[in-house]
């Protein structure tokens, strides 16, 4: 399958490397590929410059958002929440139409300092905003409730734990579940929360996730929902 991952940060790189390693054709989308390729300084969180990362993943192609969206049959949005809408607009409605878009982003607002707040919240979500802005795109919100390394390597966390997914298109959710399953998630670990408005709930998990990272001391944890 041809997969495009939008975003060149740690989340995008992690989500690109995994399907690349599984034999898929993978492209990473960025605003300005020439600028991304010219980077020599580490990123905001000490991330190595992109060319250094790509040297270890020579088969992953770097493209503009629009080229990546056109190239792929399935798209994963791994941009930051504040950049998501602009990235998808740049990708283009026509190139995305009919495709499954797995949205792993969270609408974290760092403009008021730490900890970040969520915007939108309560009566809307980034997942819904994306679905409304791109009605022909089959948006599936998933994987946004954990660290990106756990997304692609669930065994980093011991025992059972869950992926929440939601979206309005059942076949799109199945396609997302199949891809996520190929990352190593057992079938029973996926919980379908229903339509895309459930993204409000999974995105609003972020403040607890951030406090748990402080309590646990690292990011190799996840949520499990045992029930009778």
- Provide the binding-site residues for a second copy, judged by CB under 8 A: 112, 117-119, 121-123, 156-161, 164, 166, 191-194, 198, 200-202, 204-205, 207-212, 214-216, 218, 220-228
- Shortest Å distance, C-beta 16 to a second copy: 24
Minimum Å gap between C-beta 153 and a second copy is: 11
24's CB contacts (< 8 A; 6+ apart) are: 1, 2, 3
Rg of the chain over CA atoms, in angstroms?
16
Nearer of residues 51 and 115 to a second copy, judged by Cβ = 115
CB of 1 to a second copy, least distance (A): 28
Closest by CA position to 53, among listed 97, 12, 94? 12
How far apart CA 122 and CA 31 sit, in angstroms, is 30
Residue 56's contacts (CB-CB under 8 Å, 6 or more residues apart) are none
Rank residues 36 and 105 by Cβ distance to a second copy and give the closer one: 105
Tokens standing for residue 147: 């660290």
Question: Could you tell me the two tokens for 85?
Answer: 């809408």
Nearest residue (CB) to a second copy, 73 versus 223: 223
CB of 162 to a second copy, least distance (A): 9
Nearer to a second copy, 134 or 221 (CB): 221
């Amino acid at each position: 399958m041809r997969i495009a991952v939008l975003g060149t940060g740690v989340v995008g790189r992690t989500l690109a490397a995994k399907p690349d390693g599984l034999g898929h054709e993978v492209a990473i989308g960025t605003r300005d590929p020439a600028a991304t390729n010219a980077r020599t300084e580490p990123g905001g969180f000490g991330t190595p410059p992109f060319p250094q990362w790509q040297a270890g993943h020579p088969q992953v192609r770097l493209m503009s958002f629009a080229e990546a969206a056109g190239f792929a049959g399935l798209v994963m949005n791994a941009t930051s929440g504040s950049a998501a809408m602009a990235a998808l607009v740049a990708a283009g409605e026509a190139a995305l139409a009919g495709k499954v878009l797995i949205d792993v982003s969270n609408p974290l607002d760092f403009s008021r300092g730490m900890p970040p707040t969520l915007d939108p919240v309560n009566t809307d979500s980034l997942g819904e905003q994306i679905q409304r802005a791109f009605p022909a795109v089959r948006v599936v919100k998933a994987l946004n409730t954990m660290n990106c390394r756990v997304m692609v390597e669930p065994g980093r966390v011991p025992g059972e734990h869950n992926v929440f997914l939601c979206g309005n298109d059942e076949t799109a959710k199945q396609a997302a579940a199949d891809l996520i399953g190929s990352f190593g998630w057992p079938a029973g670990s996926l919980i379908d929360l229903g339509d895309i408005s459930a993204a409000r709930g999974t995105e609003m998990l972020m403040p607890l996730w951030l406090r748990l990272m402080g309590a646990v001391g690292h990011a190799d944890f996840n949520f499990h929902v045992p029930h009778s």
